[in-house]
Structure 1
Amino acid sequence: MQSLVSVAGDTARRLHQLMEPIHLVTYFADEPDQALMALGLRNTWDAYFAGRAAPLGRVPAEVVDAVFYNFAAGEVARHIPRVWEVTTPEAALAARQEGSAAALRRILGDLAGTSTLARAAELATKAATSAPTEGRVLYAALRTVPVPVDPVARLWHAATLLREHRGDGHNAALVAAGIGGTEAHVLHALSEGMPPEKFGRVHHLPADRLAAVVDGMRVRGLIDGSGQLSDAGRRAKEQIESITDDLAAAAYAILAPGERDQLIADLEPIAATLEAAGSR
């Protein structure tokens, strides 16, 4: 028999799988980028850092780097605080939400105006605004942003809150396991059967820099002689994901079992539509 913790973790993972396509319009669809670029930002990465870091306010690059955790040294500083010379955190938050909601309406079509989506937005918001904030810096910052009234924007906001709550927990699991930011990308790439040098988040790094990370993981026994994950590496990856699921489960504790089941049922057609479109 599974423990209550593992069952809660399984539920959290399933809900994450259903919520993730809702949030991913922020990074994959055109509307959020266009809304942020209209503020005078230079490029997609300006838009990414301005939009995602906006709840933190005008903090130095070192703070954003610590909260985001897995960007290579110097990447954050190319955008923060420069973006705040062009626009404000408040304007970036508004543009990000407006663009993301517009993308969801376009992709979802008639589904965007249904009672199913409105109910999912309410249940997701109930979970997203009741999770513990202790040790969850980005989630806590995002909790200070007003919850939108419009159901589509409300669902996107809830999905974003839950994603950042889970992300803060994931960072804690990585730190506890002694896995650095670039190492986390290598671990994920190899677990997906992809060479690190082909993986989108680290493929741009200088070859010698990435090779040094891989060599360090090989010395630690996480990667074997063939360049694949070792048994220890696979166990580390599985443990990190399991801890992440368990830490994310607290967000859904406020929902009664029937409400969690209803949320899953309501999210399934929404997630399926977004996944079919690649959330773009």
Structure 2
Amino acid sequence: MTSKDLWNAIEILHGGVYFAPDAQARYEAVGLKGYWMGYFASRSAALGTPGPELVVATFHGFAPRLVHRALPDAWRFADRDAVLEARYELARDLLAPVAERATALAGSMRQVLAGVDWAGKPLAAAHAGLPRSDDPVVDFWQSVTALREYRGDCHLAVITAAGLSGAAANALAVGTGWAWFADQRSKRGWTEEEWQAAITDLVTRGWLTPDGEGTDTGRAARQQIEDATDRVVVAGLDREATSRLLTLEADVVGLAREWAHDHPTLAGRTGRSA
């Protein structure tokens, strides 16, 4: 089994595009309006020009109203290919300090994708199906992104099987120490009333206290969700893909650590540690 360090490295290397200081400006330059329109349009553009319902379904965790404010209007303001190119340019510029190492790993990372079962992982499959970039740094990032969304799709399947709404999944993460942001509620667009309703549901399960703190049962349940995600991830990788990831692990983790050292603020927002 590949390690937590590897998947955290993949998260770090992928996620910088969302938090780069100039991300909003780059997407506004191609016609989008505001941070969230840039976020939802750029991340979902692999799916084509999706409407809000598809993005709510594939992203999970975000309040639907937040998505509806951005989509489908984004596709009236900006060309989908221009949005994708702006995203690639962000990734290329962010990875410039480690471009030589990313280039060296690009081919091997791309080969991993051939051994992934994309069934039931729509967002990951869409990213894996995008045309391969001629730029090896972007190609490396494309592969990393497909793998990041692969684990994300697996995680979403486990969360929804556990009967957790988007708000409840976030409230549980906050209460049990798995959330990245102190202001997770507002970051995901949930109202105080919706957040409290989610906490109430989790109190009924015995997973949170009325003030939103995780119980022993809740912390165990959240760990079980993470462990189940790991099992689903492993089940979808064939023997060759698993072997390739194990071989690549030290290099990918090392690259992420090098990048995080130069971008500590961005790395802190995209992964648990470098």
| Aligned position for 1:240 | 225
Aligned amino acid, residue 252 of structure 2: L
Aligned amino acid, residue 59 of structure 1: P
Q: How many residues align?
A: 264
| Larger deviation, residues 218-227 vs 182-191 | 218-227
| Larger deviation, residues 174-183 vs 53-62 | 53-62
Aligned amino acid, residue 218 of structure 1: V
Q: Decide which of 34, 46, 52 is 1:61's aligned counterpart.
A: 52
Partners of 2:181 and 2:255 lie apart in 1 by 32
- In the alignment, does 2:180 pair up with 1:189? no
Gap change, CA 1:198 and 1:64, over 3 Å in 2 = closer
Quote how far apart the aligned CAs of 1:159 are.
Answer: 0.9
Partners of 2:194 and 2:250 lie apart in 1 by 45
Partners of 1:254 and 1:154 lie apart in 2 by 20
Partners of 1:274 and 1:15 lie apart in 2 by 14
| Aligned position for 2:239 | 253
| Larger deviation, residues 151-160 vs 124-133 | 124-133
1:10-49 equivalent positions in 2, closer than 5 A? 11-49=2-40
1:171-210 equivalent positions in 2, closer than 5 A? 171-192=156-177, 198-199=183-184, 202=187, 205-210=190-195
Q: Decide which of 112, 115, 122 is 2:99's aligned counterpart.
A: 112
Partners of 2:46 and 2:199 lie apart in 1 by 34
| Aligned position for 1:3 | none
| Larger deviation, residues 125-134 vs 61-70 | 125-134
| Larger deviation, residues 83-92 vs 123-132 | 123-132
CA deviations 1:227-252 (Å, max 9, x no partner) are 32122211221111111112223347
| Larger deviation, residues 47-56 vs 24-33 | 24-33
Partners of 1:256 and 1:224 lie apart in 2 by 40
Gap change, CA 1:138 and 1:68, over 3 Å in 2 = same
| Aligned position for 1:52 | 43
- In the alignment, does 2:69 pair up with 1:84? no
Quote how far apart the aligned CAs of 1:191 are.
Answer: 1.8
Gap change, CA 1:194 and 1:156, over 3 Å in 2 = closer
Partners of 2:14 and 2:178 lie apart in 1 by 25
1:90-101 equivalent positions in 2, closer than 5 A? 90-101=81-92
Q: Compute the TM-score of the two structures, normalised by the length of structure 1.
A: 0.85
Do the aligned partners of 2:115 and 2:241 also contact (CA within 8 Å) in 1? no
Quote how far apart the aligned CAs of 1:260 are.
Answer: 3.3
Gap change, CA 1:211 and 1:200, over 3 Å in 2 = closer
Secondary structure of the 2:31 match is coil
Gap change, CA 1:122 and 1:73, over 3 Å in 2 = same
Do the aligned partners of 1:65 and 1:76 also contact (CA within 8 Å) in 2? yes
Secondary structure of the 2:132 match is coil
Partners of 1:21 and 1:164 lie apart in 2 by 13
Secondary structure of the 2:240 match is coil
- List runs of 5+ in structure 1 lacking aligned partners: 1-7
Do the aligned partners of 1:34 and 1:99 also contact (CA within 8 Å) in 2? no
Gap change, CA 1:200 and 1:155, over 3 Å in 2 = farther
Partners of 1:169 and 1:200 lie apart in 2 by 23
CA deviations 1:125-156 (Å, max 9, x no partner) are 21134311111111122222112122211111
Partners of 1:150 and 1:200 lie apart in 2 by 38
Aligned amino acid, residue 109 of structure 2: A
Q: Decide which of 61, 68, 71 is 1:70's aligned counterpart.
A: 61
| Aligned position for 2:117 | 132
Quote how far apart the aligned CAs of 1:181 are.
Answer: 0.9
